[in-house]
A and B are shown apart, each in its own frame.
Chain A
Amino acid sequence: MARGGRSTYGQRVPGTIQSIERAAAVLHLLGAVPDPVPLGELARMLDLPKTTAHGIVRTLCDVGFVDQDPDTGRYSLGSGLATLGQHVDPHLIRSRATNWADGLAARTGLEVQLAVLRGPSVELIAHVFRPDGSPQRLRVGELQPAHATALGHVLLAWSPVATRLHDLVLTSYAPGTPTTATTLARALQRARRQGWASLDAGVLPGTAALAAPICHRVGVGVGAMAVVGPRDQVLQASGEPHEGLAEQVVAAAQATASTLQDRL
């Protein structure tokens, strides 16, 4: 069993990766002591050369799992660990997106929607009216079928839910609804490739949408932002979006994503 050799923090199992074991040991150690630990102490406790210990804690600092006190240089567990298991609150996304979603509506003249994934559906978490003064109803809280919306395509394409695609019931709502696993998979592949998704008549004939992901940490789409409107205001006759529209939606989604780093 102990073919990988002995170390001070336990027996190595064949096939395990030494640097990950050592990183875990650093985290266990920092989690077990109440006060920040100096590098020398860390290396001594783990029976590692100082340079090796330094490389490990530096890397852990970079990914947010360890914090270094700027004054004393000592190390402690980072806030990134505490938030590791927390999902991003949809209301936080809404709050951070407001200025960008408003700006997108103002510049494009289109309605803006934000959504998160809820099982086979997307739930609208924010909605900015089309800025033309016409009577409109706030649609926050509405569920829409993920496979039939640009928002859903983006959320599926940027989530580790490939297996879920087989569970979706591909009901047809309008001429543009993907109704086979193949057409849906192609749409998601295209979305990943271009960084956004557009859908013509997915839920309603004559209505088109273009959506981009709000990505948080390692590229998981925690939300999506879309412009929605009459087909001719979103898409050209060729089916391609109007010049610059995709870039504007992507920029607003990315700007929102960058504000999620800062939690307060």
Chain B
Amino acid sequence: MKGRYVAAIDQGTTSTRCLVFDHAGRMVSVAQHEHSQLFPEPGWAEHDATEIWANTLRVLPEALAVAGLDVSDIAGVGIANQRETTVVWDRATGRPVAPAITWQDTRSREIVAQLDDGPHASLFEEVCGIAPAGYFAAPRLRWLLDHVPGLQRRARTGELAFGTMETWLIWNLTGGPDGGVHVTDATNASRTMLMDIRSLSWDQRLLDLLDIPSELLPEIRPNVEVYGTCAVGLPGVPIGGAFGDQQAALFGQTCFSAGEAKCTYGTGAFLLMNTGESLTPSSRGLLSTVAYSLPGAAPQYAAEGSIAVAGALVQWFRDALEMISSAPEIETLARRVEDNGGCYIVPAFAGLFTPHWQPDARGVMVGLTSYVTRAHLARAVLEATAWQSCEVVEAMNADTGTALTTVRVDGGMTSNHLLMQMVADVLAVPVERPLVSESVSLGAAYAAGLAVGYWPDLEGLRANWRRAAVWEPGMSDATRRRGRAEWARAVESTLRWAEQP
């Protein structure tokens, strides 16, 4: 095997990055380019897939250059991507037929409402492990087929391809119109609402219910497998794996066994617990999802609690309210005061995810008095992420019957110590951060490295995990109970705000 390093492409919500790791799982290089966030109408959120592909082609050579590496130094490349973001393109030209509809977009609400009211709503949950919601890819694909002229007809002829971002990048990296490989992985496919979560194949009944032509669909493959070889970007390098970003982080944090959990704090926040080979039906709004699928082995599952707005609330505080000039400064501002001054912010900007799943909820700031300063607001912004984590963990503990004893965290917000302390306080368990906080990219690199034999097995990867910091809970039960009850009342006040009369 040639190559001393493994690369990962992290195609995220705000940027596309390339990270290079060595055999000990240490990051040796990173390059990044942000892409435009398009909000053409309220509730809509789009990306230009062509811009994302162009950025991918830029970050690959840049990441090599940072560390003085050559393409021949790279043994394999893996991909982790923002999940559920939907793109349809023309197989002959390689051009998208419309902007990519991102996971934050709420336009498919009506399609989902129709499914919910129809006779087959329970079939989705039975087959996919997830109840219909605008959060997933299939309703977005249906919206495109309904609204882009001629698309439904063209889709049936096989001249178009559908994919989430990993599918789009793999197809382009392996040659695009000239022999591009059209595949997805089991974790991304488990977020479409079209895959049988047990057999890991497309379910024809669900395709029929949504009238989605199977000619559009990529082939579903395991997470760790060589899908093809890069024709461009990293010419000659095998693409050895792909993961939805949250499952990538679970893999990167080496949560390979049932009961192990991680929470990634990025634009949103996502807590995933490995549930082994068993699916855990949830009555509390958790999603059943594929954790990882290795070739020739039974799929491993995870229970997921999703928080739509976490870091995005800090960005809003910075960009829309102009309270701070950089995101990390929120900690400085919040530390000016001892508590939230009675103020709570519930960022239900696009409804609420786990455990409420209320698309009609909208954000609120409650408890305002003339006592409240912007420092209290800063504190309430951070507490919003902590209390949402608390709601998810409560649902997780109740549904899986496994009480979390520690949480492994990663993502950009883990550099905010005040937030991490709040999370430890409200969860009443220690919170620990690994030495490589880039768990998403590391998970993708691990997949690629396993596929090409750069790493031998999962146990070898476990040995790479190192603790970099731990936050111990320090809040009294009485304070926690009072805060939890006030948060519940704040959440109550967001519900049904956007309801149609």
Contact = CB atoms under 8 A, between A and B. Distances in A.
Interface of A: 89-92, 94-96, 98-99, 102-103, 105-107, 126-129, 131-133, 136, 138, 140, 263-264
Interface string B410-443: 0010111100000000000000000111100000
Contacts of B498: none
Interface residues of B, number: 29
Given A95-B327, A133-B466, A140-B417, A105 B435 contact: yes
Nearest to B329: A89
Contacts of A106: 24, 26, 435-436, 466
Contacts of B327: 95, 264
B325 interface: yes
Contacts of A103: 26-28
Looking at chain B's contact residues, the main secondary structure is: mixed
9 contacts: A91-B331, A95-B415, A98-B414, A98-B415, A106-B466, A128-B469, A129-B467, A129-B468, A136-B470
B30 interface: yes
Given A106-B24, A127-B469, A128-B469, 6 more contacts: A92-B329, A95-B415, A106-B436, A131-B466, A138-B417, A138-B471
B332 interface: yes
B429 to A, nearest CB: 16
Interface of B: 24, 26-28, 30, 318, 325-332, 412, 414-417, 435-438, 466-471
Given A99-B27, A106-B466, A91 B416 contact: yes
B471 A131 contact: no
A128 B326 contact: no
Nearest to A128: B468
B420 to A, nearest CB: 9
A131 B435 contact: yes
A140 B435 CA distance: 16
Nearest to A109: B466
Contact of A94 (B26, B415, B436, B470): B415
Nearest to A264: B326
A44 B154 CA distance: 64
Contacts of A136: 467, 470
B328 A89 contact: yes
A102 B27 CA distance: 9
A32 to B, nearest CB: 24
A92 B326 contact: yes
Nearest to B324: A89
Interface hub of A94, A106, A126 (most chain B Cβ within 10 A): A106
Contacts of A94: 328, 415, 417
A89 B437 contact: no
A107 B23 CA distance: 12
Contact of B332 (A89, A107, A264): A89
A264 B34 CA distance: 12
A210 B112 CA distance: 59
A129 B469 contact: yes
A163 to B, nearest CB: 28
A95 B325 contact: no
A133 B467 contact: yes
Contacts of B30: 99
A107 B26 contact: yes
A15 to B, nearest CB: 38
B332 A91 contact: yes
B139 to A, nearest CB: 33
Across chains A and B, which 4 residue pairs bring their CB atoms closest together, nearest first? A95-B328, A131-B466, A91-B328, A91-B331
A132 B465 CA distance: 10
Contacts of B471: 138
A98 B417 contact: no
